[in-house]
Structure 1
Amino acid sequence: MTKFSANLGFLWQDRPLPDAIRAAKAAGFDAVECHWPYAVPAEDTLAALSETGLTMLGLNTSRGNTENGENGLSALPGRQADARAAIEMAISYARTIGAKAVHIMAGFASGPEAHRTFVENLVFAASAAPDLTLLIEPLNPHDAPGYFLQTTTQAIEIIENCKCPNIKLMFDCYHVARTEGDVITRLQTLHPTIGHIQFAGVPSRGRPDEGEINYLAVFDAISKLGWSAPLGAEYKPANDTDASLGWMQTLV
């Protein structure tokens, strides 16, 4: 049976992170993941994980200065010190709470120098955290115009340039569908390089049983690849999270 992870960046946003973890357990999720947990002491997050028996699959590096519109730092030329500080903070938090992965956010940038900067910072992260999986995620240009990493092809080139076995692709079915389409074929092709899979309805990014993507077929294809880790439910509920969870019974 397909396992699911609740992405607490979008689900139960109305609750403090420890309470959101408890809500995910009550709803029947197999794991949790989050975006930026840093406002909550890691010890409080760990306590909620220990209480529920859930694992935090991953978290993101800091977006940077959000008031200036930043959305990640690791591909920004000239911001290496800030990027590496964000990487070290994410690694420390992940280790404290027993998280398995860190998503290294690239940020808004373009060009060869941004590519070199991203690769250098990823290699730094891989050396600093050989015990963790480091994820890079293409974001579609509709939701994140100007984001450095936009396609799975670009991501694979970066992973190959890094030559670090713990750097993997975050395959978000929503972003891939919006940018590239043919989600199942891309999953099958890229399977060896994937470190985590996420999903949401297309094009709304709402619940996965609404929209263009047949997630029954997608989840079946993922299962046939031998994938057994929880899939990340990273969608935006239209209203109350608990009221949006009917798909957990129908898409299995």
Structure 2
Amino acid sequence: MPRFAANVTMLFTEVPMLARPDLAREAGFDGVEVLFPYDHPLKDWQTALAGMPLALINAPPGDWAAGDRGYAAVPGAVGDFRQSFLRGADVAAQLGAARLHVMAGVAKGEQAEAVYRENLAWAAAQAPDLCLCIEPLNADDMPGYFLNDFDQAARIVDDLGIATLGIQFDLWHAARIHGDADAVWAKHKGRVNHIQIAGFPGRNEPGGGGFDLTGLCSELDTGEWSGWVAAEYLPQRATVHGLMWLNALKSRARLIGA
């Protein structure tokens, strides 16, 4: 049965950040993920999680307001990247995060790709027990972001051949970039080590948009998937009032396992 995580950066925003893991637990989620858990002391996060598994965090992106979106593919920013990655890896270790998303940053061209590959290889060597994710982001939401295509991500993952490095499959971005998220999943699922879901075309509650969530969960049920399916979407109303999709998928999984 897939494990479902709530992205508490985007869900349960009706309450303060550190109160959200409790709401996620009460709502039936198996764990949580947090985009950037760096604005609160680690001890406060540990108290807030209270044993709730942390599926994923992002490495620090730099100055978001100034346009930073990570440094991994940014020529001339190797020092910034290494500092960012080591901080992210340390926080992941202390909070028990299963995966760390390494953000590529705003860049383009062959030099950027060469820097990206070198930085990813370095990062994997620094934290050999940590699963690393790279995520293609669509150009409308993230203009200028280096990693903006799933085929591009697959080529880099395949070429590097690092066992702990995989693709973060975000249904929303796959659909925005390629038009057919089902086809992206079918082509690249063997490289995926983290899944994020949302509705399409509105990025609201999961469901619709031509993507078969029930089929995905059935496939994960029968396979050897050990990762997470994380809900990363914009609730149309209070989060707890829009969780029919979660209840339906978990009920179906229980029936299959009975």
**How high is the TM-score relative to the length of structure 2?**
0.90
Which residue does 2:207 correspond to in 1?
A: 209
| C-alpha distance in structure 1 between counterparts of 2:102 and 2:226, whole Å | 23
Structure 2 contact 31–53 (Cα < 8 Å) conserved = yes
Partner of 1:62: 60
* Equivalent position amino acid for 1:124 in 2: W
Q: How far 1:211 moved relative to its partner? A: 4.0
2:235 aligns to what? 237
Seq. identity, % = 36
Equivalent residue, structure 1, for 2:76:
78
Q: Which residue of 2 aligns with 1:12?
A: 12
Match of 1:123 in 2: 121
Give the whole-Å Cα distance in 2 for the aligned partners of 1:175 and 1:2: 21
After superposition, the Cα gap between the structure-2 partners of 1:109 and 1:174, relative to the gap in structure 1 and judged at 3 Å, is same
Other-structure match for 1:158: 156
Q: CA deviation at 1:14?
A: 4.2
Give, in angstroms, the shift of residue 228 of structure 1.
4.9
What aligned pairs does 1:177-188 form with structure 2 within 5 A after superposition? Answer: 177-188=175-186
1:240 and 1:102, CA in 2 relative to 1: closer, same or farther beyond 3 A? same
Aligned partner of 2:131 in structure 1 is 133
1:42 & 1:77 partners in 2: Cα distance? 31
Separation in 1, partners of 2:224, 2:175: 22
Distance 1:221 1:181, change over 3 A: farther
**Is the partner of 2:11 in helix, strand or coil?**
coil
AA aligned to 1:177 is A
Q: For the residues of structure 1 that align with 2:241 and 2:158, how far apart are their CA atoms?
A: 42
Query: Partner of 1:168 in structure 2?
Result: 166
The equivalent of 1:219 in structure 2 is 217
| CA shift for structure 1 position 231 | 0.4
Which whole-Å CA distance do the structure 1 matches of 2:73 and 2:226 have between them? 32
State the alpha-carbon separation in 1 of the partners of residues 15 and 118 from structure 2. Answer: 37
- State the match for 2:256 in structure 1: none
Residue range with higher mean Cα deviation, 233-242 or 186-195:
186-195
- Counterpart of 2:28? 28
The answer as to 2:143 corresponding to 1:142 is no
Preserved contact between residue 74 and residue 105 of structure 2 (Cα < 8 Å):
yes
Alignment of 1:82-93 (within 5 A): 82-93=80-91
> Which amino acid letter does the alignment assign opposite residue 71 of structure 1?
R
Q: Which amino acid aligns with 1:87?
A: F
- State how many pairs are aligned: 250
1:214–1:165 Cα change, 3 Å: closer
The letter for the 2-side match of 1:82 is D
Comparing 64-73 with 97-106, greater Cα deviation is found at 64-73
Match of 2:109 in 1: 111
| Unmatched tracts of structure 1, length 5 or more | none
Q: Which runs of 5 or more residues in structure 2 are unaligned?
A: 253-258
Compute the displacement of 1:160 (Å).
2.6
